[in-house]
């Protein structure tokens, strides 16, 4: 039998130990059959999609209804995104990374592009309008992500009304994304040096209308859930994880702030000009699933405040550039959809073609080869809806990344599954995982 170099042998003074590490399920069943007198059994919860925030497998050892051991089996959504970026230009990498945590694509793009800009040493050259647009999109994305967390979490415990209104509001955010970027998901809109294109006409009016509507709709969640004795009883005390445990496991985001610790990278290590926005870091002190629900609800209010401020700034930046001025880096940001609703606007293509032969050659090389990034490495963490998200980028001086690795919060936060579930009931495992809000696309990458 091969020895796992990372995992030591487990010892016990009584009963039979089953080490489930992804082998064939029949071998586990055979082991159970050998000693049928043992009341502890192994349950394979998943892999399935609807109730586990992605394709997640849970290996639970149970005694009656009580979970005595819980382990995660991951890898079912593996896409090889990190490796694929090594074979694409730096700009093309945004198309890959936006697909990792598919509920918060703008955050994937932002941390990646901030890392590229640090390697290029152009952080001070990013236009103000591009940074404000990034903040606007990320905060809209934070709201849509939290809505999915609350909606699916409600669905998993039978609160179907929470699910239906959660997805109702998320549709409004996706409509805004479609208006601004042309896509509802997987945008690749945030690019090294800025953003792909300017806001379309009427976008700010739509954003303001959305904020006004959300201020009416968010109290509905509070009315449905905050003081609801059934909802609260289901979440109170479930998935308990205190500050000491969270810090030991490296867990960040709402799970960390639910312990009362006000750690938010937007305040502690600001990026994209977050230091210039007026908002508060929300905390709770219950260390349980209920506190995490209330915390995310409060965070959506803070995001609305930031969106209002960003919209106000964008109103005063009409016509300002949204891409860095250096033509050797700047991806053409004047692209617009053609009159037939498909492809690029012919006016912009005529402009590129008619400028000069040198300009056409440069455009061709920028699109096909990409720009070179000086040798070095960079890591820029940002505060995603699930916690600290960071891209560690390594360049060897070429037009493609030498190595890209993401510190995805869902991957780190899943470590809390065992601590939060063991000693509780089987039914509470789902509630505990819902309060972590993992997205398996980010975990498996």
4 exposed, middle or buried (CB, 10 Å; 0-12, 13-18, 19+)? exposed
Q: Are residues 180 and 250 in the same domain?
A: yes
Q: Are residues 339 and 260 in the same domain?
A: no
Q: Rounded to an integer, what distance in angstroms lies between the CA atom of residue 31 and that of residue 24?
A: 12
Q: Are residues 215 and 299 in the same domain?
A: yes
* pLDDT of the residue at 30: 66
Least Cα distance to 56 among 67, 46, 71, 42 occurs for 46
Neighbours of 412 (CB within 10 A): 20
Least Cα distance to 422 among 236, 240, 261, 200 occurs for 240
SS3 per-residue string spanning 152-195: HHHHHCCCHHHHHHHHHHHHHHHHHHHHHHCCCCCCCCEECCEE
* pLDDT of the residue at 45: 77
Note whether residue 376 is domain-resident: yes
Q: Are residues 232 and 341 in the same domain?
A: no
> Could you say which of 338, 366, 394 is where a domain stops?
366
Note whether residue 23 is domain-resident: no
Q: For 376, left (φ over 0), alpha (ψ -120 to 50), or beta?
A: left
Note whether residue 109 is domain-resident: yes
Q: Are residues 319 and 213 in the same domain?
A: yes
Q: Are residues 358 and 250 in the same domain?
A: no
DSSP class per residue in 117-140: HHHHT-GGGS-HHHHHHHHHHHHH
Note whether residue 154 is domain-resident: yes
Q: Are residues 110 and 193 in the same domain?
A: yes
Q: Are residues 241 and 360 in the same domain?
A: no
Least Cα distance to 386 among 78, 100, 114 occurs for 100
**Which residue do the tokens 């997205």 mark?**
439
Structurally, the chain folds into a number of domains equal to 2
**Pure H helices in 236-356:** 243-249, 254-257, 265-268, 289-315, 346-355
Q: Are residues 218 and 336 in the same domain?
A: no
Note whether residue 160 is domain-resident: yes
Q: Are residues 201 and 140 in the same domain?
A: yes
User: Would you give the distance in Å from CA 124 to the centre of its chain?
Assistant: 26
* pLDDT of the residue at 16: 61
What are the b/e assignments for 31-56, b being 16+ CB within 10 Å? eeeeeeeeebebeebbbeeeebbbbb
Note whether residue 22 is domain-resident: no
Note whether residue 20 is domain-resident: no
Contact 391, 380 (CB under 8 A): yes
Q: Are residues 347 and 249 in the same domain?
A: no
Note whether residue 260 is domain-resident: yes
Residues 6+ apart with CB under 8 A from 337: 182, 343, 344, 345
Q: What is the mean pLDDT of each run of 10 residues along the chain (445 residues)?
A: 54 57 63 58 71 73 83 83 89 89 90 92 88 92 90 80 86 90 87 87 90 89 80 83 88 90 89 89 88 89 92 87 82 61 64 72 78 90 91 90 91 88 83 86 84
* pLDDT of the residue at 242: 87
Domain limits for position 355: 330-366
Q: Are residues 259 and 385 in the same domain?
A: yes
3-state SS class at 203: helix
Q: How far is CA 179 from CA 2, 204, 332, in A?
A: 55, 11, 19
């Amino acid at each position: 039998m091969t020895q796992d170099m990372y995992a030591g042998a487990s010892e016990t003074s009584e009963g039979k130990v089953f080490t489930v590490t992804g082998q064939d399920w029949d071998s586990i069943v055979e082991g159970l059959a050998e000693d049928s007198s043992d009341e502890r059994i192994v349950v394979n919860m998943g892999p399935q999609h609807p109730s586990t925030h992605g394709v997640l497998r849970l290996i639970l050892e149970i005694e009656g209804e009580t979970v005595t051991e819980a382990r995660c089996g991951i890898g079912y959504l593996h896409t090889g995104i990190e490796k694929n970026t090594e074979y694409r230009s730096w700009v093309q990498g945004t198309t890959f990374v936006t697909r990792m945590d598919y509920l918060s694509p703008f955050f994937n793009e932002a941390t990646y592009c901030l890392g590229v800009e640090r390697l290029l040493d152009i952080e001070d050259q990013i236009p103000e309008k591009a940074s404000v647009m990034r903040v606007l999109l990320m905060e809209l994305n934070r709201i849509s992500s939290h809505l999915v967390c609350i909606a699916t979490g409600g669905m998993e415990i039978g609160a179907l009304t929470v699910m239906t209104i959660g997805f109702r509001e998320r549709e409004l955010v996706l409509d805004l994304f479609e208006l601004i970027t042309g896509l509802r998901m997987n945008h690749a809109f945030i690019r090294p040096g800025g953003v792909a294109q300017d806001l379309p006409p009427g976008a700010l009016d739509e954003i303001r209308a959305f904020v006004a509507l959300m201020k009416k709709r968010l109290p509905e969640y509070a009315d449905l859930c905050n003081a609801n004795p059934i909802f609260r009883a289901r979440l109170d005390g479930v998935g308990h994880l205190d500050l000491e445990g969270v810090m030991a496991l490296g867990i960040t985001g709402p799970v960390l702030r639910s312990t009362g610790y006000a750690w938010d990278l937007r305040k502690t290590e600001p990026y994209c000009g977050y230091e210039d926005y007026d908002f508060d870091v929300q905390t709770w002190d219950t260390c349980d699933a209920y506190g995490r629900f209330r915390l995310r609800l409060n965070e959506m209010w803070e995001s609305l405040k930031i969106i209002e401020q960003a919209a106000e700034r964008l109103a005063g930046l009409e016509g300002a550039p949204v891409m860095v001025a250096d033509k050797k880096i700047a991806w053409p940001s004047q692209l617009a959809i053609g009159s037939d609703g498909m492809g690029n606007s012919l006016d912009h293509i005529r402009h590129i073609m008619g400028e000069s032969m040198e300009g056409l050659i440069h455009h061709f090389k920028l699109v096909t080869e990409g720009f070179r990034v000086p040798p070095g490495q960079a890591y820029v963490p940002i505060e995603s809806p699930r916690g600290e998200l960071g891209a560690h980028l390594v360049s060897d001086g070429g037009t493609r990344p030498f190595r890209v690795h993401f510190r995805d919060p869902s991957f780190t936060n899943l470590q809390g599954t065992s601590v939060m579930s063991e000693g509780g009931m089987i039914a509470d495992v789902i509630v505990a995982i819902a309060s972590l809000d993992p997205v398996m696309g980010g975990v498996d990458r």
